[in-house]
Amino acid sequence: MKSEQANLTTAGSGKEGYNRRKFLSALGLGTAGAAVLSSCGHNDWYDQFRDGNKNGGATLDFKDDIGILNYAYALEQLEAAFYTEVVAKSSSVFSASQNAFFNDIKLHEIAHREFFKKALGSNAIGNLEVDFSSVNFSSKDSVLATAKAFEDLGVAAYNGAGYKIMTEAYLVIAGQIVSVEARHAAWIRDQISNGSFSDLNSLTALGADNSKGLDAALPPSKVLPIAATYIKTKIDVKNVF
C-alpha cells in the first residue's frame, strides 16, 4: 500500500484558504517549495515529506474505517476544545440564550469526541494540541466567524468522507453526527445574519452546489489543511483521498 505522509503543522500564519497553494502553505512550505512541487503528482508531493517529520504527532491512515474515525475524532477534538474556550471566555459578548446554546454545542462536541475515543479504544490517536491564537474570544464577530468555519467544515468533512466508510454502523453514526453539526452551523449562521442558515452559495468553496440544493462535501486532503490552522500537533497523513 502506498504510504503518504505530510506535516500539517502550520507556521502560525492566518487562516488558510482552500486552494492548492494555500494547502502547501499550510504544510509549512514556502512559495519556492510550492513552485517546485506544483509539477509533482498528488502522491509525489506527499512523498517528498514522508520522512520529513516522524517525531511525535499523530498519524491518520485513511486505509480503513479506523483511520476515518480517527479523522473524525481529530475534528471533534478541535471543535470541543474551541467551544470549551468560547464558554469559558466569551460569555460576556453573548446573550443568555446564546450562551445557553453555546454550552449545548460544547457538550455535543465533547460527547462526539468522547464517543470516538471510547469507540476506537487503543486505536485512537492521542490528544491534539490546539492553537486558537487567531481567534479573539472577546470578540463576538471573531467567535461566530470561527464557529461558522468549524461547523461548515465539519459538515463538509463528514459528507466528503462518508462514502469511504465501509462498516454500515459507522456510516450511520457519521450521519447521526453530521446532521447535528449542520444544526449547529445553521444556528451559528443565523446569529451572524438571520436567514443565512443554509446559504449554499456561500459554501461553494467547501463543495456545496446551490443549484442542486447540495451542502458542503470535501475530502480529507482538503479539510485537513484548513483544520491545521488550529492544530499544533504534527499530523502524519497516509493513504489520504
Q: Footprint of other proteins on this chain (CB under 8 A)?
A: 64-66, 101, 104, 107-115, 118-123, 155, 158-160, 162-163, 165-173, 175-187, 190, 194-195, 197-198, 200, 207-217
In whole angstroms, the minimum distance from the beta carbon of 73 to other proteins comes to 13
DSSP annotation of 200: G
Residue with smaller CB distance to other proteins, 92 or 122? 122
Residue with smaller CB distance to other proteins, 22 or 117? 117
Give the whole-angstrom CA distance, residue 204 versus residue 217.
10
What Cα–Cα distance (Å) separates residue 239 from each residue in 121, 146, 151, 202? 22, 29, 25, 30
Residue with smaller CB distance to other proteins, 37 or 187? 187
Q: What angle do CA 106, 112, 115 make, to 5 degrees?
A: 135
> Do residues 148 and 188 touch, judged by C-beta distance below 8 A?
yes
DSSP annotation of 214: B
What are the backbone dihedrals phi and psi of residue 60, each rounded to the nearest 5 degrees, phi first?
Answer: -110, 110
In whole angstroms, the minimum distance from the beta carbon of 164 to other proteins comes to 8
Residue with smaller CB distance to other proteins, 26 or 218? 218
In whole angstroms, the minimum distance from the beta carbon of 67 to other proteins comes to 11
In whole angstroms, the minimum distance from the beta carbon of 121 to other proteins comes to 3
Give the whole-angstrom CA distance, residue 58 versus residue 88.
27
